[in-house]
């Protein structure tokens, strides 16, 4: 094989190539030449490709293509909202797309890409560390278990903020769930909510999993558990066995706690309602939605389909897709 360089090309000086980024094609060629011809020196390879000898040496030392590394740039616009982004992503576990929507409502003028980049560079590793403490999924069979819980929210009703309690009853096996709302968390209110939940689901499970709230438990100590009498009578009437989740045991009632995160992100936050009745009605509409459908934006562009032509779901991107795959219980492709 002839490795003599073309006669009309001049060998470049080191000064000309200092600080240049080698192309991937040249990097692959350099390594292939050396692999196929182990005795071929760096000087000869540099002459063949018309590049500097130092560039050849750097390419042979690199096990992967070095590429271009962008210098980190401080985004002054994002710095104003850094604490809000940190709390939303690390504490509330919100999706980046939801955080961006909330930032817009707070006056953020930067690009979506800048937020994704900020999260990837500054917060993603911290969230991975949080997720290292994992638990074995707590599985139940069909018709075996209900899980119930409520969550308190401050909601904009008309022109004032109101305290509202949202209740969720979920089937442990199918994950089928129903929502309800109330203005208090009295035991009588909770029992009425459960009755409506049984009717909404259309049947009963063998047992119901609750927490250690006084509406259910009179004595929450492990060795001296005592159920609240009214709640025990309620369970006896419907033939359901009560069971409780011990404190700091997130795996035993996670199925009913996860829907509240989704509810807060996609229904409560940045939403406004005309009245209590309007909130209740829209909550039931939200309950029926259940499924989120993403369509690939790149695929739509390839087939010349505009977002306005999309009949079902919404246009997604790679970030939303990965977030959904990582944090959603059930994903169908």
Predicted local distance difference test score (pLDDT) of residue 231? 95
Does a structural domain hold residue 139?
no
Predicted local distance difference test score (pLDDT) of residue 233? 94
Shared domain for 284 and 309, answered yes or no, is no
Predicted local distance difference test score (pLDDT) of residue 62? 79
pLDDT digits (tens, 9 = 90+) for 3-61: 444 444 444 443 334 445 677 777 888 888 888 888 888 898 888 888 888 888 888 88
Predicted local distance difference test score (pLDDT) of residue 180? 95
* Low-confidence residues in the chain, pLDDT < 50: 1-19, 251-252, 329-333
Strand 207-210 and strand 272-273: the pairing is unpaired
Q: For residue 4, is it left (φ>0), alpha (ψ between -120 and 50) or beta? A: beta
Q: Number of structural domains, the chain? A: 4
Does a structural domain hold residue 44?
yes
Shared domain for 280 and 149, answered yes or no, is yes
Predicted local distance difference test score (pLDDT) of residue 1? 47
Shared domain for 1 and 49, answered yes or no, is yes
Pick from 22, 54, 69: which residue ends a domain?
A: 69
CA 330 to CA 319: how far, in whole Å?
18
Shared domain for 40 and 84, answered yes or no, is no
On whether the CB atoms of residues 243 and 138 are closer than 8 A, the answer is: no
Does a structural domain hold residue 138?
no
Other CB atoms closer than 10 Å to residue 64's CB: what's the count? 6
Shared domain for 152 and 242, answered yes or no, is yes
Shared domain for 235 and 313, answered yes or no, is no
Does a structural domain hold residue 308?
yes
Q: Which range of residues forms the domain containing residue 220?
A: 145-289
Shared domain for 83 and 216, answered yes or no, is no
Shared domain for 160 and 219, answered yes or no, is yes
Shared domain for 85 and 198, answered yes or no, is no
Pick from 16, 38, 69: which residue ends a domain?
A: 69
Shared domain for 21 and 96, answered yes or no, is no
DSSP H stretches of helix in the chain? 14-17, 24-36, 42-49, 53-61, 76-79, 82-86, 96-105, 112-122, 124-131, 187-201, 229-238, 254-263, 276-289, 297-302, 318-327
On whether the CB atoms of residues 243 and 209 are closer than 8 A, the answer is: yes
CA 190 to CA 93: how far, in whole Å?
28
Predicted local distance difference test score (pLDDT) of residue 238? 93
Does a structural domain hold residue 332?
no
């Amino acid at each position: 094989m002839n490795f003599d360089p073309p006669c009309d090309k001049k060998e470049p000086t080191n000064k000309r190539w200092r600080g240049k980024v080698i192309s991937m094609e040249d990097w692959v060629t350099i390594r292939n030449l050396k692999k196929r011809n182990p005795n071929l020196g760096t000087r000869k390879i540099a002459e063949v490709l018309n590049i500097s000898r130092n560039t050849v040496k750097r390419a042979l030392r690199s096990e992967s293509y070095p590429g271009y590394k962008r210098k980190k740039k401080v985004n002054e616009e994002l710095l104003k909202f850094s604490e809000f982004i940190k709390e939303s992503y690390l504490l509330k576990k919100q999706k980046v797309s939801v955080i961006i929507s909330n930032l817009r409502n707070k006056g953020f003028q930067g690009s979506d890409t800048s937020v994704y980049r900020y999260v990837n560079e500054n917060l993603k590793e911290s969230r991975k560390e949080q997720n290292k403490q994992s638990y074995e999924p707590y599985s139940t069979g069909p018709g075996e278990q209900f899980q119930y819980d409520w969550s308190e929210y401050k909601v904009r009703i008309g022109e004032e903020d109101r305290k509202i309690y949202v209740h969720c009853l979920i089937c442990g096996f199918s994950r089928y769930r129903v929502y309800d709302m109330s203005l208090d968390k009295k035991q009588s209110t909770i029992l009425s909510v459960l009755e409506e939940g049984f009717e909404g689901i259309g049947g009963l499970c063998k047992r119901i999993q609750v927490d250690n709230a006084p509406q259910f438990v009179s004595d929450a100590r492990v060795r001296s558990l005592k159920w609240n009498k009214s709640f025990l009578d309620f369970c006896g009437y419907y033939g359901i066995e009560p069971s409780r989740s011990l404190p700091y045991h997130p795996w035993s009632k996670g199925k009913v706690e996860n829907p509240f995160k989704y509810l807060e992100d996609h229904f409560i936050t940045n939403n406004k309602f005309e009245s209590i009745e309007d909130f209740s009605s829209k909550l039931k509409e939200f309950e029926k939605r259940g499924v989120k459908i993403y369509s690939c934006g790149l695929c739509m562009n390839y087939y010349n389909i505009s977002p306005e032509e999309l009949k079902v779901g919404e246009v997604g991107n790679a970030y939303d897709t990965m977030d959904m795959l990582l944090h959603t219980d059930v994903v169908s492709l």
